[in-house]
Amino acid sequence: MAAEFMQQIDRDGRAVVEDRVAKPAVQLLINAGLDPEDIDPSATFGETMNLLTFQKRLRIVAEGLRLPWAELKRRVTRQQLPVMVIEESMRLHAQDQPERKGSELNDTHLLCLAPYADQTFVDKRTLESARRARSKSPMFDRLTTGVARARDCAELAAVLTAQSRTP
């Protein structure tokens, strides 16, 4: 895997060096998957990475559903993909946390499932961050209505048992 990664870095580096038309930073973005017309020189690094992530996800949808890329790109915005709304809202509005390696990432990914589930259980810190994001983003609020916290596994089991008995 490491050798394959290094080969990819080598290929990307050579493509940047060999292209005499585009500036190296622009060529790197093109190699990463952005179309030249989508690259805004005045955009911040974060904005550019958000666009790149969005377009990569959109390409997966286009390929998976065999939809025309140009048409899909023209019609779909980031605010139409629930995962993008949730991730961006959590990044912008969540409370600053002491670093807990891996936990926030897992909870944010779990939170991205909320639009597709009746109830999604997260930890106390993530629930507070979601509350803050809800107050600032109406779309986030609509997407994460069933987010809750259980005090312990027994409470979670009781909720799940009660829901399974409901017709």
| Span 53-75, pLDDT tens digits | 999 989 998 999 999 999 999 99
In this model, does residue 22 exceed pLDDT 80?
Answer: no
Mean pLDDT over residues 44-54, rounded?
A: 91
Assigned domain for 152 exists:
yes
What pairs with residue 120 in β-bridges?
Answer: 147
pTM above 0.85, yes or no: no
Give the percent of the chain with pLDDT over 70. 90
Per the CB < 8 A criterion, the answer to whether 93 and 129 are in contact is yes
Tell how many helices (H) and how many strands (E) occur in the chain.
Answer: 9, 2
Q: Which domain holds residue 97?
A: 78-167
Per the CB < 8 A criterion, the answer to whether 82 and 142 are in contact is no
Q: Domains in the chain: how many in total? A: 1
Answer with the residue of higher pLDDT: 100 or 111: 111
Assigned domain for 5 exists:
no
In this model, does residue 88 exceed pLDDT 60?
Answer: yes
Mean pLDDT over residues 105-129, rounded?
A: 87
Taking the C-alpha atoms of residue 133 and residue 125, their distance in angstroms, rounded to an integer, is: 12
* Other CB atoms within 10 A of residue 105 CB: 10
